[in-house]
Chain A
Amino acid sequence: MTATIRKGPVVGEGSSAAGGGAVSRSRRARPLITYGRWWWALPAIAMVALVHYAATAGGAVYAFTDWTGIGDFDFIGLDNFRRIFDDPKLIGSLKNTLFLAFGFLVLTNVVGLCLALALNRTLKSRYLLRVLFFMPVVLSPLAVSYVWKFIFDFKGPLNGVLGWVGMEPRTWLADPTLALWAVLLVMAWQTTGMVMVIFLAGLATVPIEIEEAAAIDGAGTWRRFRHITIPSIRPSIAIASTLMLIQGLRVFDQVMALTGGGPAGATETLATQVYKQTFALSNFGFGAALALLLTLIMLVFSVLQQVATRDRSQGA
């Protein structure tokens, strides 16, 4: 279980690799020694090629057809994509996806960083608190949504508390404006502990001597945070924001379990639409087009995100 100890840093290193470091190692020629055999990688390559690439490519072909999941189909070019952009419902789900992804990214990172800063040093009960804040992370999204459905229920505890202070009960998950926020809250509740751990691992690399020296030199809390802490935890910021962005863009479980995309599509996301079109409504070709669009959006944002974090670290 030493594993967990290194979790943060290992993830952090991975991220810098993702940022383009994969090739950056020195290429000293070592003719005498071979490290492993190339065919050791074959099982993993074969599995990824099949499960990810072949399957996805297979699915992507259908994006240009009108296949209903059974029988014959015709290639219809870009008609499916045209339909996506003509459909206000799907534009709405695109907006919801972006709202949830960026809301999730900001909320988890800000709260996670605050928690990590608070629990990094000095607090006596910090170890216990770290355990407590991490607990929601291990739960299944399904279990989490049962609990929150109960809390948000019309006759549930949340309305009960509001009743005490004299406020009207609300149908949280059936309110077109509140439902999306409720989903965001549940997503953030479940994941903030993970972000906290990533930041704690980053903070552990900040040398305390430098911070103390800066404090003695009269640097205030904010300046120390800005000029010592932030640069040191940049890898953590990169990995946490990448992970949260991807997770936010592909959000499915929480939406499906809490609202099913309702009321009247108010919380529908691209991922739930993909599911609905493909599996519930048998519009396989159309669903595949949506999934392809989701993939492209994720690729674009990931690249943008990588570029953004790399530029800043060079500027620092």
Chain B
Amino acid sequence: MTALPVPAGDRAARASAQGRIRWELLSQLVRKDLKTKYQGSTLGFVWSLANPLLQLGIYYVIFSLVFRNGIPSYHVYLMSGLLAFTAFSAGVTGASTSVLGNAGLVKKVRFPLLVLPLSSVAFALVQLGLQLPVLFVIALVSGVNFFHLPLLLILPAFVLLVLFSTALGILVAALNVRYRDTSHFVEIAMLVWFWANPILYPVNLVRTQLDPHHLFWAYFLNPMASVVTAFQRAVYQTPVITNTNTGLRTALLADGGYLFYLRNLALGFVITGLLMLFAVRTFERLQADFAEDL
């Protein structure tokens, strides 16, 4: 232990280290989540995969084997949208209880509270990071070769996924301290939200309904729809499928190019930017009372 007074400049740096959102702190919190959620089990990795894989299995059996939708490699199509949405849903749901769940820390230690919803989103992204390689392996094994140009779309889509989840996560984390049923509301909203994205169904079903009214663009006011369709284009890639029995060609993806996706993503970024401003301001306004409201 140093026995000398610290020079003032050094002190300012240390104060800012305590008040700033640092990677070190974020990673410690994610590590804590990994440990507490999986009880330190060595199978933690498996658990993080079990849920989406089970979901995938069920949907695959129902929609591909029972209903016979005739989409080739349906599981790859399904998985590319599902994993993106699961990461979003898990991130936002986790963030909604992040401040409340860390009451012990919030009430005792000075630290940037924004790091709490961020760590929940980061935790969901870590899980996505574990799941994506599985998706890639399954896709390759199923004969879907995604090593083509559209794969690059996954990058802006991923960034939008992160930012949108973060913005919404920050908002619901703050609201949940004040209004305790926010997290329940979020859970229900996620169930509904799931169906607002073309994860199980082809986006063209929506297009044929909305195009006559020139309202297809409005479907993408939901940034997750842009993320999901971009993920599908990036991994599944085939825009038009041919039914092997009838020879009938149906459009599965919304578009076979890039501009369509980039435009939708850009709209998503604008919406996310506005939401982020609102969320951070709300959080900063409400956090004044967090330590007392918990």
Question: Do the two chains bind?
Answer: no
